[in-house]
Amino acid sequence: MSILVCIEGDEGIIKKTSIEAVYYASETGKIIGDEEVIAVALGSYDTAVLENLGNYGATKVIHVNDEKLDKSQIGVYSEIFAELVQTTSANLVIMSKSSFGDNIGGRIAGKTGASIVSNVVALPNVSSEFEVRKSIFTGKAFATVSMPEGLKILLVKRNSVEVNQTDDKAVIEQIPLPNALNFHEKITGSEKAEGDVLLDDAEIVVSGGRGLKGPENWDMIEDLAKALGAATGCSKPVSDQGWRPHHEHVGQTGVKVSPNLYIAIGISGAIQHLAGVNSSKVLVAINIDPDAPFFKAADYGIVGDAFDVVPRLTEKVKSLK
Partner 1 sequence: MKILVCITHVPDTTSKIAFTDNNTKFDVSGIQFIIGPYDDYALAKAVELKESNSGNITVLCVGEVNVEPTMRKALAIGADDAIRVNANPTDSVFVAQQIAAIAKEDQYDLILMGRESIDFNSGVVHGIVGSLLDIPSVSPVMKLEIEGETAKMTREIEGGQEFIEVQLPVIAGCQEPIAEWKIANMRGIMSARTKPLKVIEPVACDKITSTLSYEKLPAKGSVKLIPAENAEELIDLLKNEAKVL
Ligand X SMILES: Cc1cc2nc3c(=O)[nH]c(=O)nc-3n(C[C@H](O)[C@H](O)[C@H](O)COP(=O)(O)OP(=O)(O)OC[C@H]3O[C@@H](n4cnc5c(N)ncnc54)[C@H](O)[C@@H]3O)c2cc1C
Query: How far apart are the C-alpha atoms of 166 and 48, rounded to whole Å?
Result: 15
Task: Please report the beta strands in 53-89, taking only residues with DSSP state E, as ranges in sequence order.
Answer: 60-64
Q: Of partner 1, ligand X, none, which one does residue 12 interact with (CB within 5 to 8 Å by kind)?
A: none
CB 29 within 8 A of CB 8: no
Quick one: 172 or 313, whose CB is closer to partner 1? Answer: 313
Q: Of partner 1, ligand X, none, which one does residue 261 interact with (CB within 5 to 8 Å by kind)?
A: partner 1
What does the binding site for ligand X look like in residue numbers (CB under 6 A)? 209-211, 235-238, 249-254, 266-268, 270, 272-273, 276, 286-289, 292, 305-307
**Region of residue 156 (phi > 0: left; psi between -120 and 50: alpha; otherwise: beta):** beta
The minimum distance between CB 255 and partner 1, in angstroms, equals: 9
Which residues lie below 8 Å from residue 10, measured CB to CB, with a gap of 6+? none
Q: Of partner 1, ligand X, none, which one does residue 307 interact with (CB within 5 to 8 Å by kind)?
A: ligand X
The minimum distance between CB 242 and ligand X, in angstroms, equals: 14
Quick one: 154 or 297, whose CB is closer to ligand X? Answer: 297
Q: Of ligand X, partner 1, none, which one does residue 15 interact with (CB within 5 to 8 Å by kind)?
A: partner 1
The minimum distance between CB 208 and ligand X, in angstroms, equals: 8
CB 15 within 8 A of CB 39: no
The minimum distance between CB 223 and partner 1, in angstroms, equals: 14
The minimum distance between CB 137 and ligand X, in angstroms, equals: 13
CB 257 within 8 A of CB 250: yes
Query: How far apart are the C-alpha atoms of 151 and 2, rounded to whole Å?
Result: 11
Q: Of ligand X, partner 1, none, which one does residue 276 interact with (CB within 5 to 8 Å by kind)?
A: ligand X
CB 5 within 8 A of CB 58: yes
Indicate the helix (H) or strand (E) that contains 4.
strand 2-6
Quick one: 111 or 169, whose CB is closer to partner 1? Answer: 111
